[in-house]
Structure 1
Amino acid sequence: MLSLYIVRHGQTEWNTEHRMQGWQDSDLTAEGLRRARALGERLKHTDFQKVYISSSKRTEDTAKAILGNRQVPLEKEDLFREMSLGTWEGKKQEDIEKEEPERLHAYFHQPTAYQPADGESFEELEQRVKRALLMLTDRHQSGNVLLVTHSVFILMLLNIVKKRGISEVWNSSYIHDTSLTLLTIDAAGTITIKKEGDGEHRESTVSL
């Protein structure tokens, strides 16, 4: 049995400014680091055989905060990147709302009608997430694997596991920063969702 622990990166500066990130990056906030360390405390007894991260620095910093002093092989992989948002990246959502209201509405409410401006479509993201999942299941048949990635990537992965169309991609639990989604995959390839967007650790009052 493979257990896949899937985590969204910690809160970033651009998250607090409501800027679209996509393939671009910004630093984790102090709160983002605290929540990542709190998740690490929650998972301290889980023995990870491998850690995968996207090529974004925010996932690397989050993974390192979760692991602390633990020495676990860590691999960067472009397949795990967030959905590319093209010309929107770095812009505040409120400004995009003024400049391209119809495109933004399609992004959030009509994913199959969304036409990206130099970024990825939801169809392209779906194919990439399927390749990422296949890579993981080809490489790992058992044990515990940690994947630190991004919110829309995780939502698309959940959508695929639930065997739903792209129009349903937003209809899963909200993926807060550092939230935990846990999938188990048995020898027959059956995927079970054990946790979805679980943020139990996020409000921990423990000083870390």
Structure 2
Amino acid sequence: MTKLYLIRHAEAEGNLYRIAQGQYNSIITDRGWRQIRALERRFQDIHVDAVYASDLYRTCATASAIYRPKGLELHRRRDLREICVGVWEQKTWGEIARTDPVQKENFSHHLDRWHVEGAETPEQVRDRVLAAVRQIAAENDGKTVAVFSHGCAIRILLATLQGYSIAQLGQTPHGDNTAVSLIEADGAQMRVVFRDDNSHLTDPRYAQGETVKKRANALEPGLYFQPLRLPEDAALVENCAEAFPEANVRERAEAGTVLTGFLDQEAVGLVGFCPEHQAAENAGWISLFYIREPYRRRGYGVQLLGQAVAHYRPLGRRCLRIALTPEESARCPFFRDYGFVPAGRGEDGREILEKDISFDPAFLGPEGESGC
């Protein structure tokens, strides 16, 4: 009898920033690393002979909860990847809902009807992941194996093993980040013993010291972003200018360095970026960060941070920075909650906060960045 623990990756940027990241590489969030530490404690006394993961960064990083403390090799497999979402990759879910609402609904509730340009079909995902798991089981006959994959891929696999069709997928659960399922394989026969268990995130034995501050949950599907429009968004600019008296919002808008976040047709906030000649070599500066009062403390601010990451990482920036005046100190807890740490003061006395957005080379495969 072969045991296969099937584990979903920890919270990654796509989950937090509400961005579609099927086969796009993104890093693990601060909350995700707390989940990984709890997962490590869960498996501390469980014997594991081998560890496999999809070759994407977020699964390889999550797999470190098991392969590192047990001194095992990590086996990377491309066929354990998440479903490729084609032209949806790196779009916000808010943008997808705005431009492709029918297929967004199909993806959430009727995956058998889902079709997007450049994407895999659910049947293709089912076939490659099932074949991969069968091969892993055959190569590790009689052993215990940990296999790290992704939410949609795992859901399709478990539904298949439990006798559900793709059309019936909506009747099955969806595992949270680091959720653990157990499959037993006996020759060609495979059965699901349990699925989607994330009790290690709440059990004090494993979650000790890893309590997570409760976050506001933004309305689904989230925000979409467009360059700041003038004169249409003049009122938003005026409000922002009051909060950032030193920020020349109009000038930055004309330079194309400010994005407006929208919920439906309502402007929620602004995020601005410094022109590249003003940016430090390894840092991307957030020049503007503003949420309208009715939308504060509702989970939308972090989606603006996601746009800053999406803007600066392709430019080779390894961290985000923002400089806050003493009057803006009340906003510091928000940034610290999402991984910003003090990084000194500017010549004007403003406090500089910094967030690492770089990839750890240890979790990147030989090809580095990857796509569909």
Give the TM-score of the pair, scaled to structure 2: 0.53
Matches within 5 A, 1:44-59: 44-59=44-59
Pairwise CA distance, 1:207: 2.2
**Count of equivalent residues:** 207
Pairwise CA distance, 1:69: 2.6
On the 8 A contact 1:82/1:150 being kept in 2, the answer is: yes
1:201 maps to: 200
On the 8 A contact 1:40/1:67 being kept in 2, the answer is: no
User: Residues 68, 207 of structure 1: CA spacing in aligned structure 2 closer, same or farther, 3 A cutoff?
Assistant: farther
On the 8 A contact 1:40/1:68 being kept in 2, the answer is: no
Q: Tell me how far apart the structure 2 counterparts of residues 141 and 200 of structure 1 sit (CA, whole Å).
A: 28
Partner secondary structure for residue 127 of structure 1: helix
2:5 maps to: 5
Pairwise CA distance, 1:160: 1.3
Higher mean C-alpha deviation, range 40-49 or range 3-12: 40-49
1:164 maps to: 164
Partner secondary structure for residue 6 of structure 2: strand
Q: Tell me how far apart the structure 2 counterparts of residues 126 and 44 of structure 1 sit (CA, whole Å).
A: 31
Pairwise CA distance, 1:91: 1.2
Q: Tell me how far apart the structure 2 counterparts of residues 139 and 68 of structure 1 sit (CA, whole Å).
A: 21
On the 8 A contact 2:67/2:73 being kept in 1, the answer is: no
Q: Tell me how far apart the structure 2 counterparts of residues 112 and 192 of structure 1 sit (CA, whole Å).
A: 23
Is the radius of gyration larger for structure 1 or structure 2? 2
Deviation string 1:161-184 (CA, Å, 9 cap, x unpaired) is: 012211122332221000101111
Matches within 5 A, 1:88-103: 88-103=88-103
On the 8 A contact 1:129/1:157 being kept in 2, the answer is: yes
Q: Tell me how far apart the structure 1 counterparts of residues 52 and 68 of structure 2 sit (CA, whole Å).
A: 15
Query: Which segments of structure 1 move beyond 4 Å, counting only runs of 4 or more?
Result: none
**Letter of the 1:115 counterpart:** H
On the 8 A contact 1:8/1:149 being kept in 2, the answer is: yes
Q: Tell me how far apart the structure 2 counterparts of residues 99 and 141 of structure 1 sit (CA, whole Å).
A: 48
Q: Tell me how far apart the structure 2 counterparts of residues 62 and 148 of structure 1 sit (CA, whole Å).
A: 8
**Letter of the 2:200 counterpart:** H
2:366 maps to: none
1:125 maps to: 125
Instruction: Answer 1 or 2: which has greater strand percent.
Output: 2
User: Residues 137, 65 of structure 1: CA spacing in aligned structure 2 closer, same or farther, 3 A cutoff?
Assistant: closer
Deviation string 1:140-161 (CA, Å, 9 cap, x unpaired) is: 2211100111001110111110
User: Residue 147 in 1 paired to residue 121 in 2?
Assistant: no
Pairwise CA distance, 1:68: 4.1
On the 8 A contact 1:46/1:144 being kept in 2, the answer is: no
Higher mean C-alpha deviation, range 94-103 or range 189-198: 189-198
Matches within 5 A, 1:101-116: 101-116=101-116
Tell me the C-alpha RMSD between the 2 structures.
1.5
Partner secondary structure for residue 3 of structure 1: strand
Deviation string 1:94-124 (CA, Å, 9 cap, x unpaired) is: 1100000111122222222211221101121
Pairwise CA distance, 1:66: 3.7
Deviation string 1:58-116 (CA, Å, 9 cap, x unpaired) is: 11111113444321121000010000011111111111000001111222222222112
Q: Tell me how far apart the structure 2 counterparts of residues 116 and 95 of structure 1 sit (CA, whole Å).
A: 14
1:29 maps to: 29
Q: Tell me how far apart the structure 1 counterparts of residues 120 and 17 of structure 2 sit (CA, whole Å).
A: 23
2:61 maps to: 61
On the 8 A contact 1:85/1:118 being kept in 2, the answer is: yes
